[in-house]
């Protein structure tokens, strides 16, 4: 890759495939502070990622990919950098990014929360609430605000123009906690967040 000095940067580039080909926990931490961007019909929605969770495959009972490859979770076994969207509790979508080392068979990072930056008005409309702090502080809320559905299933985040992630400021402090909403594997501190000093 020759990254010569580009005077005019018309569009910032999305994070490269290489970023996602790494240990799932590491990518989960690296994603904090990065900027999630969604383009819908010329409008831009964006926010800084402030909370993530790592889900591996084998040896992680809480992961969808813990047992075996199925129609739904096959994306977690696929190429890193793709979007894994799933529908749960009969009414919510959750947005994940496939991230794993070459040697790993499966793994993904759940994006749990972002801090809204652009397109807040549209998010308010999508979420039907005007409480900013409540727009994207959960996986289901985030997907609703960003209009992420099964249409984004298996989307390649490194080449898509409607959904991608940009580089951002590296957080100074990362907090590790047990993952939320699961029954098994709660001993692992694979929930990562940064203090968004609100």
Partner DNA sequence: TCGCAGATTGCCT
Partner DNA sequence: GGCAATCTGCGAA
Contact call for residue 197 and DNA (CB under 7 A)? no
Question: How far is Cα 113 from Cα 108, in angstroms, rounded to an integer?
Answer: 15
Report the nearest approach of DNA to the CB of residue 34 (Å): 17
Among 5, 173, 183, 197, the residue binding DNA under the rule CB under 7 A is: 183
Cβ-based nearer residue to DNA, 42 or 89? 89
Question: How many CB atoms neighbour CB 33 within 10 A?
Answer: 17
Task: Give the CA distances from residue 116 to residues 48, 65, 123, 135, 145, in Å, rounded to whole numbers and listed in that order.
Answer: 7, 30, 9, 8, 10
Report the nearest approach of DNA to the CB of residue 70 (Å): 3
Residues 85-144 that bind DNA (CB under 7 A): 87-92, 94, 96, 108, 110, 127, 129, 134, 138-142
Question: How far is Cα 80 from Cα 63, in angstroms, rounded to an integer?
Answer: 16
Look up tokens 């009414």; give the residue.
Answer: 91
Report the nearest approach of DNA to the CB of residue 56 (Å): 9
Cβ-based nearer residue to DNA, 97 or 172? 97
Report the nearest approach of DNA to the CB of residue 11 (Å): 29
Contact call for residue 67 and DNA (CB under 7 A)? yes
Task: Give the CA distances from residue 14 to residues 9, 28, 37, 157, in Å, rounded to whole numbers and listed in that order.
Answer: 13, 17, 9, 8
How is residue 156 annotated by DSSP?
B
Residues that bind DNA (CB under 7 A): 53, 55, 62-65, 67-68, 70-73, 76, 84, 87-92, 94, 96, 108, 110, 127, 129, 134, 138-142, 179-183
């Amino acid at each position: 890759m020759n990254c010569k000095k580009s005077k005019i940067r018309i569009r910032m580039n999305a994070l490269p495939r290489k970023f996602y080909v790494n240990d799932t926990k590491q990518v989960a931490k690296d994603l904090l502070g990065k900027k999630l961007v969604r383009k819908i019909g010329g409008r831009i929605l964006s926010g800084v990622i402030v909370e993530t969770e790592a889900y591996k495959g084998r040896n992680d009972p809480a992961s969808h990919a813990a047992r075996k490859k199925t129609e739904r979770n096959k994306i977690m076994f696929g190429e890193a950098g793709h979007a894994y969207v799933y529908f749960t509790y009969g009414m919510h979508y959750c947005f994940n990014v496939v991230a794993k080392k070459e040697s790993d068979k499966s793994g993904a990072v759940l994006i749990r929360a972002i801090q809204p930056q652009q397109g807040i008005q549209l998010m308010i409309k999508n979420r039907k609430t005007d409480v900013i702090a409540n727009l994207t502080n959960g996986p289901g809320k985030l997907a609703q605000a960003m209009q992420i559905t099964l249409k984004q299933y298996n989307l390649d985040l490194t080449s898509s123009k409607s959904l991608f992630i940009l580089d951002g400021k590296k957080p100074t402090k990362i907090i590790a906690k047990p993952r939320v909403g699961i029954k098994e594997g709660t001993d692992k501190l694979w929930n990562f967040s940064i203090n968004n000093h609100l």
